[in-house]
Amino acid sequence: MAHRGETLHKDVCCIADLKKMGSSRLAPMVRDYYNGGAMDLITLNENETAYDRYKIRPRVLINVDQIDTSTEFLGSKVSLPFGFSPAASMKLAHPDGELATSRAAAKFGLAMGLSSYSNYPLEEVAAQGTGNPYVMQMCVLRDRSITLQLLDRAEKAGYKALFLSVDVPVLGKRINEYRNEYTIPDDMSWPNILSHGADHSDRTDYVTTPEDIELAIKYGIDGIVISNHGGRQLDGMPSTLDALRVCAPVAKGRIPIAVDGGIRRGSDIFKALALGASFCFVGRIPFWGLAVCVCFSCFSILFGTDQIQYNGQEGVELAIKILRQELRITMALAG
């Protein structure tokens, strides 16, 4: 029906559909790694359900004929107020991994954060861009030479900023990784940190209290991402949306603040912006998009079985289109 709006995919109408389909095409070990979190998954689930507790108060009799979703991030204009969080080992979801995600971000003019634990070199990922902003994630490692080479390479490759992860003095207890004896394949590496082996990081920035905001401002940080690592570190801490609500008043007018974690709908993005975020990040959604475009199980990738591959970029683009469509509808209906 013409008045219903564009049908983006006959089987995937929302991110929940994308998660269901993408997850079904991953090996159990990989699926649990992507979708799981620390301990009893209290914080992981709360990240999502928190959005259900906040309601939108729509205004009517307002002209919403021209909806503009564009904004600015790190001095660059972007088409939507959300981008991709840094997340490790995307090649587990699709052989094109971070390259496909980067091409999708570039096509839609989105910001993209790249994990130090990317399976492709940071130079190759940024080379897929078309002027959209890229950010490099890193942790403070004991071997400072790794940190220095990463900084130097990211600057030369045109990355706009550095996401410094500050939430991992130790690794959270992720029970599914114990049960599955999670590891990455022998032929998969992390070229940005010149390392190889079991994956111990998919870190995004983590600041969740007003006191942390004040500390970040004191130390001259240029911006903050409210994150709890997707519920993968300390289980039982508040959702990122609840943390945003108490942190945003402290940051307002002093430092830009973004939020990461639990976003599954365009209306979630709307709510985060309404509660004080200047930008949003999504981490797991690109994984599900990549996985949707793999014909057979991820076991084939892990163990080298021949298979027909679909374009991973298309799955990530579908995710972007879904969120964009829902955000525009929410903006219009909310006035």
Go through the chain and tell me how many residues it has. 335
Q: Taking every pair of C-alpha atoms in the chain, what is the biggest distance, in angstroms?
A: 60
Tokens of 230: 């997707």
Domain 2-334 annotated CATH 3.20.20.70: yes
Least confident of 38-47, 87-96, 170-179, 261-270: 170-179
Angle between helices 312-334 and 266-274 (to 10 degrees): 50
Could you tell me the pLDDT band of residue 51, with boundaries at 50, 70 and 90?
very high
- State how far the Cα of 71 lies from the Cα of 164, in Å rounded to an integer: 23
Q: Are 233 and 294 in contact (CB under 8 A)?
A: no
How do the domains of the chain map onto residue ranges? 2-334
Q: Is the pLDDT of residue 298 over 50?
A: no
Catalytic positions, written as ranges: 229
Stronger pLDDT, 310 or 67, i.e. the higher one: 67
Find the Cα–Cα–Cα–Cα dihedral 156, 81, 45, 101, rounded to 10°. Answer: -50
> Which residues contribute to the annotated binding site?
33, 86-88, 115, 137, 174, 227, 229, 232, 260-264, 283-284
Kindly report the pTM of this predicted structure: 0.91
DSSP letter for each residue of 1-49: -GGG-----SS--SHHHHHHHHHHTS-HHHHHHHH--STT-HHHHHHHH
Annotated binding site for FMN: 86-88, 115, 137, 227, 260-264, 283-284
Residue 140 binned pLDDT confidence (cut-offs 50, 70, 90): confident
The annotated binding site for glyoxylate is made up of 33, 174, 229, 232
